[in-house]
Amino acid sequence: MRTLFVLLGLLPCLTLGGWAVLRHSGGHLAAIERRVEEVLGLSLACGGVEHVRPDALRLRSCRLSAPSGDLVLEAPVIDVETSAGEVRVSIARVDCTPALVRGLAGLASDWLMHPGRHPRDCVVDVADFRWSGRPSPPGATVGLRLECVAVNGARAIRARRGGPADAPADEVRLRKVPCTATPPQAHGPSEAARFEIEARVSEPVPVGVVEALMGAGPGGLPLGEEAGISGTLALEVEDGRCGGNAAVRLERIDLAVFSRHLPHRLSGEATVSCTNLLLSHGRITACDARIDVSRGRVAQRLLDGAVSVLGCRPGPAFRSLTGEETRAFDDLAVSIRAVRSGMELRADPARAGALVRLQGLALVEEPRSAVPLDRLAWFLAPPGAVALPAARTTAWMLERLSWESGPAVGAVVPPSDQAVRPTGRSEF
């Protein structure tokens, strides 16, 4: 009887007790943190772990950090449930920061490109998803779902952010489709991939988030901290070349920030609406856009360049009677269209050709013909830029040589004649 008591009662009790102690030990928690770091490439620090049911964990007081030490995500509770082919993660609330998006973008790229490291599908549900630093409507709770799914050799990621009941949800899809390519001088076919990107975003996404998605650092898109981007796009990327179409809206652009990269200063808040953008093999083949600025200031030298370089016509208020170097304006409205001969700059029909107005008078008026692309290049070039011959030989040389001082090396187009800065309207 004593032997039966030990075998059937005491030993199972001691085993369960030891197992429970092990599950709540610091070593067990450290093992979970190491496993997460191996899979995600991010450091995880947890205050505690609960085994809710078999294959289901509840992590408390979680902090995810990048290898640099920057905080990526902080959440009081994260629920993780695993099965043979799927991992499900549930989080109550997330304040999305550029650091979090940059970390997620790296994980998404790793999941798409290395299926051996990530054999399981993954679903992440966030009950309350918000843009960090942006106010949310009172009482509004918007959820987010991320899905990573592999089917028949193709891998896809979908991010869906729910909106109000009367508005469609914002959604982004990214698919990696394997294809077989036979490069020159190859002994056999090699596996390549084509990426398909679709997006429909109605609520503007903060520019910092878009920078993180693009892999750019802070300020990579010099539009100002309050700028937002929305719209739709459908693109295909293969062999580094992009093709497709997009309709994009950029709002609350801070022109003072944007003009830091231009030879002349601007100020004001702008909105850019691009209703038709077509890409083929990495080149823009069609573009219809509009720029609106409600009020701001512009350098007189920029107005002079618009007339002498772009061929705009001076309006009645082109010059200030007091010779101001920086001019105030009430509104700016320019429609831009890409044509074979360059770019067309047009004003609204109700504005009688005025592109920029002050107290109802035009500072500059639309040009009579399309602006060639080389004129746009000169307009954006800093004062005193050196003219360089644009030919295939010089393009090859400038791509392979650089100097610590001297003219900036940029893209050179292949016409063979000399590019010369125009000096007056007679040369336009």
What local confidence, expressed as pLDDT, does residue 20 receive? 55
Sign of the torsion formed by the C-alpha atoms of 218, 220, 226 and 227:
negative
Q: CA–CA separation, 14 vs 67, rounded Å? A: 41
- Asked if the model's pLDDT at residue 424 lies above 80, the reply is no
- Asked if the model's pLDDT at residue 378 lies above 90, the reply is no
What local confidence, expressed as pLDDT, does residue 114 receive? 87
What local confidence, expressed as pLDDT, does residue 5 receive? 64
pLDDT band at 405 (very low <50, low <70, confident <90, very high): very low
Q: Which DSSP letter does residue 321 get?
A: T
Q: Are 335 and 345 in contact (CB under 8 A)?
A: yes
- Asked if the model's pLDDT at residue 329 lies above 80, the reply is yes
How much of the chain, in percent, has pLDDT values that exceed 70? 81
Q: CA triplet 69, 75, 76: central angle to 5 degrees?
A: 125
Q: What is the pLDDT of residues 307-327, one digit of tens each?
A: 999 999 999 999 988 888 999
Q: Is 15 helix (H, G, I), strand (E, B) or coil?
A: helix
What local confidence, expressed as pLDDT, does residue 22 receive? 56
Q: What is the pLDDT of residues 149-206, one digit of tens each?
A: 998 878 999 999 986 555 578 999 999 987 755 444 444 444 578 899 999 999 899 9
Would you call 357 exposed, middle or buried from its count of C-beta atoms within 10 A (0-12, 13-18, 19+)?
Answer: buried
What local confidence, expressed as pLDDT, does residue 68 receive? 81
Q: CA triplet 34, 35, 40: central angle to 5 degrees?
A: 100
Structure tokens at 384: 């005193």
What local confidence, expressed as pLDDT, does residue 164 receive? 53
pLDDT band at 19 (very low <50, low <70, confident <90, very high): low
Q: In Å, how far from its chain's centre is CA 320?
A: 40
- Asked if the model's pLDDT at residue 421 lies above 70, the reply is no
Higher pLDDT, 54 or 19: 54
- Asked if the model's pLDDT at residue 291 lies above 90, the reply is yes
Domain 23-82 classification at class level: mainly beta
> What integer is the mean pLDDT of 383-390?
70
What local confidence, expressed as pLDDT, does residue 297 receive? 95
The rounded mean pLDDT for the chain is 82
Least confident interval from 47-56, 115-124, 356-365, 385-394 = 385-394
What local confidence, expressed as pLDDT, does residue 393 receive? 73
What local confidence, expressed as pLDDT, does residue 190 receive? 43
What local confidence, expressed as pLDDT, does residue 246 receive? 95
Q: What is the pLDDT of residues 209-231, one digit of tens each?
A: 999 988 888 888 999 999 999 99
Q: What is the pLDDT of residues 60-105, one digit of tens each?
A: 999 998 888 888 899 999 999 998 889 999 999 999 999 999 988 8
Tell me the residue length of the chain. Answer: 428
Q: What is the pLDDT of residues 96-121, one digit of tens each?
A: 999 999 988 888 888 998 888 888 89
What local confidence, expressed as pLDDT, does residue 26 receive? 63
**Widest CA span of the chain, in angstroms?**
115
Give the bridge partners for 94, in sequence order.
Answer: 129
Q: Are 416 and 390 in contact (CB under 8 A)?
A: yes
Q: CA triplet 289, 290, 292: central angle to 5 degrees?
A: 155
How much of the chain, in percent, has pLDDT values that exceed 90? 44
What local confidence, expressed as pLDDT, does residue 117 receive? 84
- Asked if the model's pLDDT at residue 386 lies above 90, the reply is no
What local confidence, expressed as pLDDT, does residue 165 receive? 53
**Range list for CATH 2.30.30 in the chain:** 23-82
Q: CA–CA separation, 289 vs 343, rounded Å? A: 11
CA-atom Rg of the chain in angstroms: 29
Least confident interval from 71-75, 137-141, 206-210, 353-357 = 137-141
Pairing of the two strands 154-161 and 144-151: antiparallel
